[in-house]
Structure 1
Amino acid sequence: MTVKTTCPYCGVGCGVVVTQNPNGSVSVAGDADHPANLGRLCVKGAALGETLGLAGRLLAPEVDGQIASWDRALDAAAGQLAEIIHQHGPQAVAFYASGQLLTEDYYAANKLMKGFIGSANIDTNSRLCMSSAVVGYKRALGADAVPGNYQDIETSDLVVLVGSNAAWAHPVLYQRLAAAKAQRPAMKVVVIDPRHTATCDIADLHLALKPGTDAGLFNGLLNLLAQQIPPDTFDGQQRALDAAAAWPLDRCAAFCDLPRDDLARFYHWFISADRAVTLYTMGINQSSSGSDKCNAIINVHLASGKFGREGCGPFSLTGQPNAMGGREVGGLANQLACHMGFNPQDIARLGRFWGSKRIAETPGLMAVELFEAIYRGEVKAVWIMGTNPAVSLPDSDRVREALRRCPLVIVSEVSTHSDTLAFADIRFPAQAWGEKNGTVTNSERRISRQRAFVSAPGETRPDWWIVAQLAQRLGFGEAFSWHHPAEVFSEHARLSGFENHGSRAFDISGLASLSIEQWDNLAPIQWPVTANAPRGTARLLETGQGWHPSKRLQLIAVEPQNAQAQTTAHYPLLLNTGRIRDQWHTMTRTGMVPRLMQHQPLPWVLIHPDDASHLGIGEQSLVRLTSPRGWALGCARISVEQRSGELFMPMHWNNHFASQSRVNALVASVIDPHSGQPESKQTAVRLQRVTAPWRGSLFSRRALELPRSIMWWRQAASWKLAASTLDTGWIEMLAGREGWQLQYARSDSFVHLLAWQGATLQLALYLSRHETMLDEQTIVASFDAPVTDPAQRHQLLAGGGAQQTLRGRTVCSCMGVSETAICAAIAAGGDTPAALGKQLGCGTQCGSCVPELRALIASSLTKAAH
């Protein structure tokens, strides 16, 4: 059986073809017919079939730690919510949702909270990534509407990537851009980012600006564009131009810490290009002035006329598969459903459509302030759906304390590897990708279907069903009497066109009358979808009109601000956070896939050589980052790609995959005053080397509770360990309790230990004061079959196999090609990515590793020249 569905990772929204094989396995390929990816997949998408096992799945409802029936769990949740609402009012309860939910799930949750409970306290993890972009679009255009599409990126003369490492965070879209540039070399690509990232591989110009100064850069460009804008073309025009007039080239270069000539070159390219697209994401949005930065970008597109036509526009790249769908249904606390707001007309309109007199009348608590209200005891119940705020929110230790204090925490979740699940009083087992059925909307406004292709395991249920069942128990049954997700979608589509008449950008009323069969077969389509545009709308703003009451577009006066985080003598370094290529969010899905852990197996801290030398830190040194809020451990990587005085650390590791590497424990809960989005990109920290001479690996049949003296990082089937002193007493105690037999090899500089139960290997530990060569493949395979041969046991004790080598990290996850093999091939004459691909296969699948291949080639050639 073959099913077409949509990838559940980033906002590119790639089409996926899933084939169920006769042996029960699943094959995953890119959908060549899907307009988002045209058959391409990144390594995460290609590995989706490896995430479908039931290990680590939540499979039954639980109440107070005990497995319960659905009736009991739903009755308990509804009863306790009703009691809290009765005693403290609807503002005492909240929902916290996720861009991992399908549109139908989101619609149901938003309807229950804002339409019937009567509070707007439903927010989403999209607040952490997209809310500043929402504010920027709404202020400029009058609607949260991305005006362009992916083809515009390919046909543009100039593509500007700002605060976006698209090569890693949106790899398929980046590969489309790279292919377009290869076909049209005259296309210019500019990367504006403090770090030199993989995205710079195709850049004609990299502007490594001072973190947080983007608004000054674009104000300078607007200042140069001022003379070409006819008077009174836009609302707010004169105020915006007056603000920009204070930003001549020299001031911009100094403010951004950029070479004047480089900045002038970028300004010239933008002004002279007939068509330009600016792609921006977390580096812009995650700021205490992110909304203004978004508007600074939109301003220059409006002022230059580079919008509303092919190859042009300000293009916000969405972080999650359905962050835009969540915005469409009103999943943010400061909006109502279908792009309506908290004005009397929209409140009344929504009440008429839903048949409710309990519509929330004021915005609710946004993510950061919501969890602060939980901490203070003002919100007494929270229902968390498909997200992991105990890891992903800033000041995450305080978030954890808030959840500990909260009288009622309900969590709908797929994975037991979610830190947040530990705080749940009631657990609802949700359906995962491949099991659930609905729609998602990608970064270019394209609605696609996620289709089920495996049976839902255990007692798992779709999120919309869970919401509807709970709503019925709260007394709202008639409004939540759906039997199929297509019915939810149809209601959502009807609402989008209800009393709209073009006043709201989001309108999919042309899909409202789909039958279940038609909804099942829905092909990808871009909204608006109306009677006048039944096949969707590829591009917005073509008439030059927006959705403000005046229909005019608006320029926003921007006063550039520095980041609120400022370094001090005690915290002298500025920390940036972000994503890596092969991991997703807090690793609950990708962390258990072995090949996705091979590229970056440890949370690393990127540091400039000057800072490393000053602090006595070497390559691969274990380091500790500290801020006033918390600390985290990482592994040093020294590179000139990082600006001096600044650091970078990935945000993925949680407490299931590391003993202490949650980077958001360091980040302050500083937010943009307009969007509520946290400033996750700038945190003042100090960095110290950690003395841990003992390093090693642990292989075990099950997760073990390691002593506090050991620092650890999980890697699918194994754990990497570090310790300041040697302590194996915990293993001996464990062996005694379990009835294991221990096999030792040890000296002053190493300890190797195997634990057996008869002929079955239970545990293998390798610790030493120097780098140990291990045949990890043989070690892992030894857990699958009895081992009775003494020689084979001794070989395992020594490290696994006779051909032990230091393989090095994996660069190409698709083909499993290591850095060691690549460097050897380069030394033998493979001096292009194509040559390496022909010899080793690297770079021939998703293409995400090509920038690293080029970097390794350049490094090898530089070393050879010296």
Structure 2
Amino acid sequence: MNVATTCPYCGVGCGLLARIDASGAVQVEGDARHPANHGRLCVKGSALAETVDLRGRLLHPLLRTSGGSLRRTSWNDALDRVAKGFGKVIEQHGPDAVAFYVSGQLLTEDYYVVNKLAKGYIGTANIDTNSRLCMSSAVAGHKRAFGEDIVPGCYDDLELAELIVLVGSNTAWCHPIVYQRIAKAKERSAPPRVVVIDPRHTATCESADLHLPIKPGTDVWLFNGLVAFLFQHGAMDTHFVDTHTQGFEAALAAAQTDAGDPAEVARICGVKLVDLLAFYAWFARCERTVSLFSQGVNQSSSGTDKVNAIINCHLLTGRIGKPGMGPFSLTGQPNAMGGREVGGLANMLAAHMELDNPMHRQIVQSFWQSPCMAERVGLKAVDLFRAIEEGRVKALWIMATNPVVSLPDADQVKRALARCECVVSSDIVTHTDTNAFAHVLLPALGWGEKDGTVTNSARCISRQRAFLPAPGEARADWHIVCEVARRLGFTQGFQFEDVHAVFVEHARLTAFRNHDVQADGLPATRRLLNLQGLAHVDRQAYASLSPVQWPVTSDGEGVARLFADGRFSHVDGRARFVPTPARMPAHAADRHYPLILNTGRVRDQWHSMTRTGKAPRLTGHIAEPFIDMHPHDALRCGVREGELARVQSRWGAMVARVKQSGGVLAGNVFVPIHWSGQFASDARVGSLVNPVVDPISGEPEFKHTPVQVEPFPVRWYGFALSRRALAPEGLSYWTSIQGDCFRRYELAHRERPPECGAWARTWLGVSDPDAADWLEYEDRSTGVYRAAYVIEGRIESCMFLSSRADLPSRHWLASLFVRDQLEEADRMALLIGEPAEPGVATGPTVCSCFGVGRDTLCEAIRAHGLETPAQITAHLRAGGNCGSCVPELRQLIAQVQGQADA
């Protein structure tokens, strides 16, 4: 039987149908009835079934011994230890000496319970979330402009728009199903124009009508310039501005002061004036305009101003709340918005109420009937870990996140956790960079096992439903928190029987004293977040709840678009224009750190890879961390493509392989965020990242860190494929990734082994090479060494070493591991270092859905004269499922055609 649930990855919130087949294997497909994706899935969602095994799972409560090892314990012992640790700190140092750091991976019900415990019972607002790192600037911008954290539109607006503006978003890779909806809209007889505003030329640019590669940090100049242009050219909706907004004159004055001259804006932003004016003219002419923005806007020391600069353009033209138009924040995590609904940030209360508003505090405390209420804003993420290192916060509970990898200045997070008296971690995996510092590890339920709700970027509440049994002793996060709350003495307020009871209380709170006019002698406190239509659902109705956009009316119906009536959530009902004076990022490049680091995601991986790192289908596209540079910068830094380099900032350093994609502006470098200590020797890019934050939102500056790049000299490069896990620690450089039937290791070291054969046998665990086939070849003059270990005709492991970085194809060798028996030609090929037959080497994976490699695609394009992605799909299926690889297919077509014309 299919179980309707929701994807655990990005904020698109795609619906899934999951089931367990007769063999016990999990099957996952898209839910055609879900409004977010209508049955389509990206490759990460399609590969979810490959990630639900129990390898590496935290299955039992663990305690850290005085010697540093972990020992299994009972739930009672573990929960008592947590309650005792937190209780002691609270008694001795007060409630603000404890904190919680939670995650957009939690379900809304989990978020609600832990927020209730922290703010209403312990009495501290020191609860923040990793969502602070990706969307808190959007929250702050929404609240300044609208009076409430509101995304006004819906995904259907993408099909109705005349102009789609993508700002700071590689949508094709980070929100693939949104990108596919845009691509589908481009097939209309009157397609929308698409503008991409991004310093990098990404896969998203392949479908754009215009790409504006602005200099990092210049977004406010660009949109202030647009405000000035729209006003000057009569594109202002005067009636809307006069009737429904405040503050226009001040915002216009700031825009004209900074960006009144388009030529000066083009110079500052580093774009061609003709392209800038084309964008401005399109925005002026196209009434149905949607502006989608994501981390490239939010993750900045001026992120909130960037958000408001974009919103100002929509307020000026009255393009909000109507079909096909509006500003649209693309959220990074599956439940970042659900966390915002229940006050998961340190400066918020549940139900979109404000911590610094005495009336809101009274409303929430009255509803909860709680003994106390936090009265001041808590510590935001970066400040929280500084307070831990300084000793002001002495107990910390981390849930479903890995801050030693994800936070900026991540080595400071290490120092903080090492000093903290009591570190508790609720997680689904045992070994992470963060869990190495935990005193208590609590096994939580993961996707497919837990039950509750999430809210996507478009305000759509969906159910995540369990279809797998709880593994080991794992428990739901909300239940774990309730158990600790009762042990802390809070017997009332945490006696929820099940997740349905938590949801209903959350829904009731959103409707509590939420009215348009004064009632019962109490002031009006109108909030658009209102789930009154769900406040009394019974268990059966909750179990069968269909996706619905809030607010949910009394008849249970959702609302697709907000602000259509021109009424906003400020007390006077008017939206606010916000002046956004332009300023450059806090830290500029200098002679010591002349390049600017930008960070972000890759297509097939997620966060710190604890889930996606298990799926072989997701590892073939990009298998190891990289440093993407402009060729001129690489030359100046003395580094070469394919070799290793070290990136260093004032805060830390990392090592990765140099890449020159052609998509990075001179003076900039790009590094992905995903690699942690479980998958690489030294690739945590968070250790480099500038810890300066936006003064309003507290969101860090992930997109602008001054760095230097220098060679990382090694004596040899190599790789190994092995059916069993190996131990690469001690090498100068290594990465590890899961393949199909094997694990792949990329290796390099500063010293060459004195005897390659002996070293290889030891490292691969070949104790008796005479008991099986040990094949090896060495050319000492060139530094080449190859070896393979074969048992009963099946390859067990292989290793290739060279003094140069250009080693044989890993993809051809990977194909040997799926065979039960090697042919004699395969054995010879292993020693030669290349396949015996041409065409066997498929190259790096481009289409992960169907496992189609670059070499296979290029050969088909040449042989058959393929000119479109659709023709490639007809021949090889590539691009025919999620479509995430379609931009790369276009690039390959252009590349092959260019080679033919040369």
* Structure 1 unmatched ranges of 5 or more: none
Pick from 533, 537, 545 the counterpart of residue 510 of structure 1. Answer: 533
User: Which residue identity lines up with residue 641 of structure 1 in the other structure?
Assistant: G
Pick from 59, 66, 72 the counterpart of residue 71 of structure 2. Answer: 66
| More off after superposition, 835-844 vs 729-738 | 729-738
The Cα shift of 1:149 comes to 0.3
> How many angstroms apart in 1 are the aligned matches of 2:587 and 2:375?
35
The Cα shift of 1:732 comes to 5.7
The 1:773–1:847 alpha-carbon spacing in structure 2 relative to 1, beyond 3 Å, is closer
Pick from 860, 866, 881 the counterpart of residue 845 of structure 1. Answer: 881
Pick from 263, 269, 276 the counterpart of residue 256 of structure 1. Answer: 269
Are the equivalent residues in 1 in contact too, given 2:167–2:196 (CA < 8 A)? Answer: yes
| More off after superposition, 352-361 vs 426-435 | 352-361
The Cα shift of 1:773 comes to 4.6
> How many angstroms apart in 1 are the aligned matches of 2:844 and 2:11?
28
Are the equivalent residues in 1 in contact too, given 2:736–2:746 (CA < 8 A)? Answer: yes
What secondary structure sits across from 2:493 in the alignment? helix
1:814 corresponds in structure 2 to 849
The Cα shift of 1:659 comes to 0.6
| More off after superposition, 756-765 vs 341-350 | 756-765
The Cα shift of 1:756 comes to 8.1
The 1:156–1:789 alpha-carbon spacing in structure 2 relative to 1, beyond 3 Å, is closer
2:548 corresponds in structure 1 to 525
User: Which residue identity lines up with residue 700 of structure 2 in the other structure?
Assistant: P
What secondary structure sits across from 1:402 in the alignment? helix
What secondary structure sits across from 2:735 in the alignment? strand
> How many angstroms apart in 2 are the aligned matches of 1:379 and 1:730?
48
What secondary structure sits across from 2:211 in the alignment? strand
Pick from 368, 378, 389 the counterpart of residue 382 of structure 2. Answer: 368
1:22 maps onto 2:36 in alignment: no
1:608 corresponds in structure 2 to 630
1:271 maps onto 2:276 in alignment: no
What secondary structure sits across from 2:165 in the alignment? strand
1:767 corresponds in structure 2 to 801
User: Which residue identity lines up with residue 371 of structure 2 in the other structure?
Assistant: K
Query: After superposition, where does 1:459-858 map in structure 2 within 5 Å?
Result: 459-502=473-516, 503-531=526-554, 534-692=556-714, 694-716=716-738, 717-727=743-753, 743=774, 745=776, 746-748=778-780, 749-753=783-787, 763-769=797-803, 770-773=806-809, 775-777=812-814, 779-781=816-818, 802-803=836-837, 805-828=840-863, 829-858=865-894
1:290 corresponds in structure 2 to 303
The Cα shift of 1:505 comes to 1.6
> How many angstroms apart in 1 are the aligned matches of 2:763 and 2:869?
49
> How many angstroms apart in 2 are the aligned matches of 1:776 and 1:477?
60
What secondary structure sits across from 1:419 in the alignment? coil
The Cα shift of 1:206 comes to 0.6
Pick from 107, 116, 121 the counterpart of residue 121 of structure 2. Answer: 116
| More off after superposition, 416-425 vs 114-123 | 416-425
Are the equivalent residues in 2 in contact too, given 1:740–1:756 (CA < 8 A)? Answer: no
Are the equivalent residues in 2 in contact too, given 1:607–1:639 (CA < 8 A)? Answer: yes
2:341 corresponds in structure 1 to 328
The Cα shift of 1:781 comes to 4.1
Pick from 339, 358, 369 the counterpart of residue 355 of structure 1. Answer: 369
> How many angstroms apart in 2 are the aligned matches of 1:857 and 1:5?
37
1:304 corresponds in structure 2 to 317
Pick from 251, 255, 259 the counterpart of residue 240 of structure 1. Answer: 251
The 1:838–1:734 alpha-carbon spacing in structure 2 relative to 1, beyond 3 Å, is closer
The Cα shift of 1:237 comes to 1.7
The Cα shift of 1:616 comes to 3.7
User: Which residue identity lines up with residue 542 of structure 1 in the other structure?
Assistant: A
The 1:187–1:475 alpha-carbon spacing in structure 2 relative to 1, beyond 3 Å, is same
The alignment's C-alpha RMSD in Å is: 2.2
* CA deviation profile, 1:188-227 (whole Å, cap 9, x unmatched): 1111111111111111111111111011111111112335
> How many angstroms apart in 2 are the aligned matches of 1:470 and 1:839?
58
Pick from 115, 132, 136 the counterpart of residue 131 of structure 1. Answer: 136
Are the equivalent residues in 2 in contact too, given 1:60–1:459 (CA < 8 A)? Answer: yes
* CA deviation profile, 1:286-341 (whole Å, cap 9, x unmatched): 00000000000000000101111000101000100000000000000000111111
User: Which residue identity lines up with residue 418 of structure 2 in the other structure?
Assistant: R
1:436 corresponds in structure 2 to 450
The 1:162–1:32 alpha-carbon spacing in structure 2 relative to 1, beyond 3 Å, is same
> How many angstroms apart in 2 are the aligned matches of 1:294 and 1:764?
51
> How many angstroms apart in 1 are the aligned matches of 2:645 and 2:868?
35
What secondary structure sits across from 1:37 in the alignment? coil
Are the equivalent residues in 1 in contact too, given 2:424–2:440 (CA < 8 A)? Answer: yes
What secondary structure sits across from 2:265 in the alignment? helix
1:2 corresponds in structure 2 to 2
Are the equivalent residues in 2 in contact too, given 1:4–1:18 (CA < 8 A)? Answer: yes
The Cα shift of 1:592 comes to 1.7
1:102 corresponds in structure 2 to 107
User: Which residue identity lines up with residue 725 of structure 1 in the other structure?
Assistant: E
The 1:800–1:435 alpha-carbon spacing in structure 2 relative to 1, beyond 3 Å, is farther
* CA deviation profile, 1:753-804 (whole Å, cap 9, x unmatched): 456899997654322335235543355347xx7x899998887677697558
What secondary structure sits across from 2:327 in the alignment? strand
Are the equivalent residues in 2 in contact too, given 1:59–1:460 (CA < 8 A)? Answer: yes
What secondary structure sits across from 1:480 in the alignment? coil
1:458 corresponds in structure 2 to 472
The 1:731–1:258 alpha-carbon spacing in structure 2 relative to 1, beyond 3 Å, is same
> Normalising by structure 1, what TM-score?
0.96
The Cα shift of 1:49 comes to 0.5
1:337 corresponds in structure 2 to 350
Are the equivalent residues in 2 in contact too, given 1:696–1:772 (CA < 8 A)? Answer: no
The 1:418–1:339 alpha-carbon spacing in structure 2 relative to 1, beyond 3 Å, is same
Equivalent residues, number: 862
Amino-acid identity (%) = 49
* CA deviation profile, 1:655-707 (whole Å, cap 9, x unmatched): 11111111111111100000000000011111123333522222345443324
Are the equivalent residues in 2 in contact too, given 1:175–1:847 (CA < 8 A)? Answer: yes
The Cα shift of 1:536 comes to 0.8
* Structure 2 unmatched ranges of 5 or more: 65-69, 517-525
The 1:756–1:854 alpha-carbon spacing in structure 2 relative to 1, beyond 3 Å, is closer
Are the equivalent residues in 2 in contact too, given 1:574–1:683 (CA < 8 A)? Answer: yes
> Normalising by structure 2, what TM-score?
0.92
> How many angstroms apart in 2 are the aligned matches of 1:27 and 1:610?
47
* CA deviation profile, 1:372-412 (whole Å, cap 9, x unmatched): 11111111111000011010000111111111111111000
> How many angstroms apart in 2 are the aligned matches of 1:730 and 1:379?
48
> How many angstroms apart in 1 are the aligned matches of 2:793 and 2:122?
59
The 1:396–1:739 alpha-carbon spacing in structure 2 relative to 1, beyond 3 Å, is farther
The Cα shift of 1:610 comes to 1.9
Are the equivalent residues in 2 in contact too, given 1:741–1:755 (CA < 8 A)? Answer: no
> How many angstroms apart in 2 are the aligned matches of 1:825 and 1:778?
20
The 1:494–1:826 alpha-carbon spacing in structure 2 relative to 1, beyond 3 Å, is same
Are the equivalent residues in 2 in contact too, given 1:778–1:801 (CA < 8 A)? Answer: no
| More off after superposition, 711-720 vs 427-436 | 711-720
2:395 corresponds in structure 1 to 381
Pick from 408, 415, 434 the counterpart of residue 420 of structure 1. Answer: 434
| More off after superposition, 266-275 vs 615-624 | 615-624
What secondary structure sits across from 1:126 in the alignment? helix
> How many angstroms apart in 2 are the aligned matches of 1:436 and 1:771?
44
